[in-house]
Amino acid sequence: MAKIGDGVDPVAALGAAQLLTRPASEFGNDPTVESLWAIKAVEHMEVYFNLISAVDAKILKLTPHDEDIYNTFREHFPNLDVKRLVESDIKSEESKKEWREFCMKFENVVEDFNFATLLRLDCEQDYAEENTTLVPRVQFYAVEIARNREGLNDADFCGQVHVADIPPVEAIGSLAKGRRKPSADYRVFVGKPSHVNLQPHLERLVRELLTASASWTIPLSSCQIMSPRYLEISLNRAAAYRSLFSFILGPQRASGQQLERSGGESVLIFVPHADESFTGIRTEMLAAYASRCYGDRDVGVKIYTSKPSQCAAAPCFWRCTYPALCRLEDIDFGLLCEESEWLLWHRLLLCWQLLREPMPQTLPGSVKVEVNAHTLLRALEALCTEFSAYYSKVRVLVHPEPHLNAMVFARIWLIKVVQRTVLCVLNRFGLNGLDRM
C-alpha cells in the first residue's frame, strides 16, 4: 500500500480523488488543488516502483492497452533511448508538439490519460529530485512499458533501492547468495527525540517485544532501532506461513497415497538408476518416511539400484518419481524466502479476513438483497494476479533430487492454500471452481 508522506493531512488525501474529478473551471490557481495533485502523483510513484521491485517487469501489464501504447510509441519515437531520457527530449517545444499528438490518440482510451505523473529520467536510478520529471499519464505509460518490455527495469536493481529509503534487513533462511533481502514488515515511528534519554527506553522496548513475542502464534524474528525516529519489526515468516496455512486448510486427512498396511511388512524402494545423491541417506530415515506413507505402520526398508525379479509380483512394491507430499506440520516454511511468496501470504490473509465476514441474508418477504462483493472480488483478483506472476517466474517442480524435496514441498503447500482460497471465494458466491489445478 502506498504511504502518504510526513506532513500530509490524511483527510485531504482521502478527498483528493473526488475533488480532482470536478471541472477545471471551478478552480483558479488554488494551492490546495496543486498539493492534492502532488499527493496523487507521489502515491502513484510509490505504488509503481514497489510493483516493479516485486515482480518481473517484463511480464508486467500496466493497462489493458499496453500493446497499442507500445506500438504507437515506437512508431512515433523509433530511436528514442528510454534508458536515459534527456529532459529536452520531452520538454522542448518541438518535442512537446510530437508528444501532444501521441497523447491525444489515447484521450478516450486510457483512463486519466493526461493526469500528472512522475517519471524517472534514468531508469537505473531511484526517484530523486534530479532524476524526476512531470509528464502526462499516457506518456509515463509509453516510456515505462517500453522499459519493461525491453528489459531495462532490471529487477535486481529495483530490489536495491527503495522509494521510502527503508534500509534492508538480513534475509531469514536465505538459500542463495545474492537473493533479494526482504524489507521490514512494520515500521513504528516514535518521533524525533527531544533529549538523549529516549534511547534507553527504545532499547528496553525492543528487548521486551522480542521476549513477549516468543509466546505469540507468530513471533518476531527481529526488532531493530534503525534511527532515532523509528523501529523496524519483522515477523517470523516460517511461523506465519504455518499458522495461516493450518487455519485455511484445517485438520489434514490422509491423502490417497497414504495406504493402510498391516504392521511388519517390507517396503521395497527402487532407485531407477545409480544416483549418488542418495548416498549417505540413513536407512532409518527412509524407514520413517516409508512408515509415514503407509499409515504410520512399522515397516522394513530395502533399497535396490537394479529392479529385483521378485519386485514385479510383490504387492507392496511402490515406485514414484516424486515422494509423497509431507504433512503440513513437517514442512520447513523457512525455505519460502522469496518476496513474492511473502506477498502471496498477505494476499491470502486479506482474502480470509473478508471471507470470515458474514454474508447478508435475504429477509422473509423481501425480494432483493444487496451484497457488497466488490472488496472480496478485488482481493481475489489481487491474489490471482500475484499468484500468476509468481507461478510464471518461480520453478515449483524441479529435478527430483532428495535435497530439493523440502523446497518443492513448501511451494506445493503454498499452491494448495491458494487453490483452497480461490475455491472458498467462488463458493461464497455459489460458484463451483475446478477441484484441481
Walk me through the domains of the chain, giving residue ranges and CATH numbers.
Answer: 10-158 (1.10.3560.10), 166-235 (no CATH), 266-324 (no CATH), 329-360+372-428 (no CATH)
pLDDT of residue 263: 41
pLDDT of residue 69: 92
Q: Which residues contact 111 (CB under 8 A, 6 or more apart)?
A: 63
CB 326 within 8 A of CB 402: no
CB 59 within 8 A of CB 98: no
pLDDT of residue 235: 84
pTM over the 0.85 mark: no
Which stretches of 214-260 are DSSP H helices?
Answer: 237-249
Q: How many CB atoms lie within 10 A of CB 187?
A: 15
Spans of the chain below 70 pLDDT: 1-38, 53-55, 154-183, 190-198, 227-229, 251-324, 358-372, 397-403, 434-437
pLDDT tens for each residue of 322-341: 566 778 888 888 888 888 89
**How many helices (H) does the chain have, and how many strands (E)?**
14, 7
C-alpha cell at 146: 517500453
Distances from the Cα of 233 to the Cαs of 159, 171, 381, in angstroms? 19, 13, 29
Sign (positive or negative) of CA dihedral 398, 403, 406, 407 = negative
pLDDT of residue 399: 58
